[in-house]
């Protein structure tokens, strides 16, 4: 079940988050640099047992960049305001890619908002010997190829995009570069304070991630006080595309959805 709700305004940004499901635990699903559409299949499947909100980050897709948006932590504060506007007090926050980074920034600030947290191939930490690929230098075709493990899946990364949507992909990548250019896709402050994210957490990674190496997972598991790691075989940086059924099963088991 999916629906477009009324316009919700938070911190001067107005949008229509998509909702999937009508009962169960409230889930805030934070998309990665690929845009909200890449998480729709995941949201739809999780919506069978939970109420899932899939918003768009300010500065991404069709939302303009507000003046206050300079760093990833700014988006963490934005989502606190969005949750307040929706009257959602306790949530399961799921984040992919930069969405996982945003979720972690939220958790170190106000972990009481969380029931639990699922991080899927998140950025945000630097681990020696496991630096992310410098994908900002790749064209869109090569970026899609590097994002997946199975070559035939590459066409699905930006499948069915019209001219306007193709421009949105470029815009999203530019926004990610602005937010994560220096230091490259991590924040030393997050690493320093991640022990304060006192919330049950799972960290999920594709075993064959060529964008953000699976070796980074160890950094998260070392710093999060209550976390378990899950690796998905034959999977790159986009489990929600390559192995969506497996990903959904892992999240549901973690959250004890029936």
34-91: per-residue pLDDT in tens? 999 999 999 999 999 999 999 999 999 999 999 999 999 999 999 999 999 999 999 9
Is residue 53 within 8 A of residue 8, CB to CB? The reply is no
Cis check for the bond before 127: say yes or no (omega within 30 of 0).
no
Cα 198 from Cα 226, distance rounded (Å): 7
pLDDT tier, 240 (very low <50, low <70, confident <90, very high otherwise): very high
Indicate the domain borders of the chain: 2-255
pLDDT tens, 155-210?
A: 888 765 665 677 888 899 999 999 999 889 999 999 999 999 999 999 999 999 99
- pLDDT given for residue 3 in this prediction: 54
Question: Would you state the torsion angle of the CA atoms of residues 173, 75, 72, 228, taken in this order, to the nearest 10 degrees?
Answer: -100
Among the residues of the chain, which ranges form H helices?
40-46, 72-86, 98-109, 140-147, 154-157, 163-180, 188-193, 217-223, 239-242, 244-255
Q: How many CB atoms lie within 10 A of CB 41?
A: 15
Cα 146 from Cα 33, distance rounded (Å): 14
| CATH 3.40.190.10 corresponds to the domain 2-255 | no
pLDDT tens, 88-125?
A: 999 999 999 999 999 999 999 999 999 999 999 999 99
> Is beta strand 25-30 parallel, antiparallel or unpaired with respect to 50-54?
parallel
Output the pTM of the full model.
0.95
């Amino acid at each position: 079940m999916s629906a477009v709700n009324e316009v919700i305004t938070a911190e001067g940004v107005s949008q229509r988050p998509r909702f999937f499901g009508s009962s169960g635990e409230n889930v805030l699903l934070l998309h990665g640099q690929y845009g909200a559409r890449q998480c729709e299949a995941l949201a739809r499947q999780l919506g069978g047992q939970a109420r899932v909100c899939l918003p768009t980050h300010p500065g991404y897709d069709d939302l303009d960049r507000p003046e206050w948006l300079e760093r990833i932590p700014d988006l963490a504060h934005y989502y606190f305001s969005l949750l307040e506007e929706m009257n959602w007090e306790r949530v399961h926050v799921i984040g992919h890619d930069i969405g996982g980074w945003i979720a972690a920034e939220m958790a170190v600030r106000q972990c009481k908002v969380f029931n639990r947290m699922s991080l899927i191939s998140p950025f945000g930490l630097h681990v020696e010997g496991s630096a992310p690929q410098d994908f900002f230098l790749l064209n869109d075709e090569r970026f899609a190829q590097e994002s997946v493990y199975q070559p035939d899946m590459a066409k699905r990364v930006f499948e069915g995009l019209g001219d306007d949507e193709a421009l949105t992909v470029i815009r999203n990548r530019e926004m990610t570069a602005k937010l994560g250019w220096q230091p490259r896709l991590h924040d030393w402050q997050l690493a320093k304070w991640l022990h304060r994210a006192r919330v049950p957490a799972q960290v999920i990674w594709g075993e064959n991630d060529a964008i953000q190496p699976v070796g980074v997972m160890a950094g998260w598991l070392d710093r999060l006080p209550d976390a378990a790691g899950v690796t998905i075989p034959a999977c790159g940086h986009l489990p929600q595309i390559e192995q969506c059924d497996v990903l959904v099963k892992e999240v549901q088991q973690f959250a004890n959805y029936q």
